[in-house]
Amino acid sequence: MPPDAPAFFDSEVYCVPMSSPGDVSQVAALFDDGRVEPKHVVAIMAQTEGDPYCRGYATLAMQDLLSKHLVLSHQKIFDSIPMLMIGGVGGIMCPHINLFVKKPATAAASDAPRLSIGVASSRLLAPEEFGTMTQVDLVAETTKQAMEDAGITSAEQIHCVEVKCPAMTPARIEDAKSRGQSVVSGNPAAASSLAKGACALGVAVATGEVDRSALSDGAINVEKQ
């Protein structure tokens, strides 16, 4: 940690409504009113209306807004601020955006339990690594990094771990084939499901809920007998 880095942080979550997948006006209002400084946004989760493809509009709109405020390229925003956009509300919730904010603390920390946010990003996985133990290990390592970023020393203090999981596509399958590699399944939906399972197991390994030595590629998405 740099010498001038703050010793403690305040973690906050702001939830604002959105009128369409590309509507970030309420986030802009938080910035304009001074309630949130754009540089303190460390992660974003949104639930948009429409089909899953609509989440792309939400991502682009947030990248554009943050890019203007932080004077950074869209790619730099993409690389530095995780965005988990979920398409479709299914009539059971209102479309909304959650901003996860981490800023220097204004007072000394107390011993009372409080919200703490940790964020970490792994390297990009190759398509042939989706749904394998390589992904499990990578997610476990990154989860531990997020715990450290949050100042969490015990898995018992963790209440939620969110992972942005890669999805298999026909283009990614062809990319692997072009390099002489094989993917876990030629069915993109099945391969994506295995990738989700690998993410879940990676988190469980990091938190000590699952013994790493008991796992293998064949154990992913398989019910334990």
pLDDT tens digits, residue range 197-223?
A: 999 999 999 999 999 999 999 999 987
Asked whether residue 225 carries a pLDDT value surpassing 70, the answer given is no
**Residue with more model confidence, 106 or 124:** 124
Asked whether residue 70 carries a pLDDT value surpassing 80, the answer given is yes
Distance between CA atoms of 106 and 88, rounded to whole angstroms? 38
Asked whether residue 122 carries a pLDDT value surpassing 50, the answer given is yes
Distance between CA atoms of 189 and 197, rounded to whole angstroms? 12
Identify whether the C-beta of residue 205 lies closer than 8 Å to the C-beta of residue 198.
no
Quick one: pLDDT band at residue 109, thresholds 50, 70, 90? low
Q: Angle of helix 170-178 relative to helix 188-206, nearest 10 degrees?
A: 80
**Two tokens at 181?**
């590699």
Among 46-60, 66-80, 184-198, 203-217, whose mean pLDDT is lowest?
46-60
Identify whether the C-beta of residue 81 lies closer than 8 Å to the C-beta of residue 43.
yes
Q: Is the pTM of this model over 0.85?
A: yes
Asked whether residue 91 carries a pLDDT value surpassing 80, the answer given is no
16's CB contacts (< 8 A; 6+ apart) are 26, 27, 29, 30, 96, 97, 99
Distance between CA atoms of 82 and 119, rounded to whole angstroms? 8
**Residue with more model confidence, 86 or 121:** 121
**Two tokens at 84?**
């988990």
Distance between CA atoms of 125 and 114, rounded to whole angstroms? 33
Hey, CA dihedral for 170, 47, 43, 64, is it positive or negative?
Answer: positive
If you count DSSP H runs as helices and E runs as strands, how many of each does the chain have, helices first? 6, 4
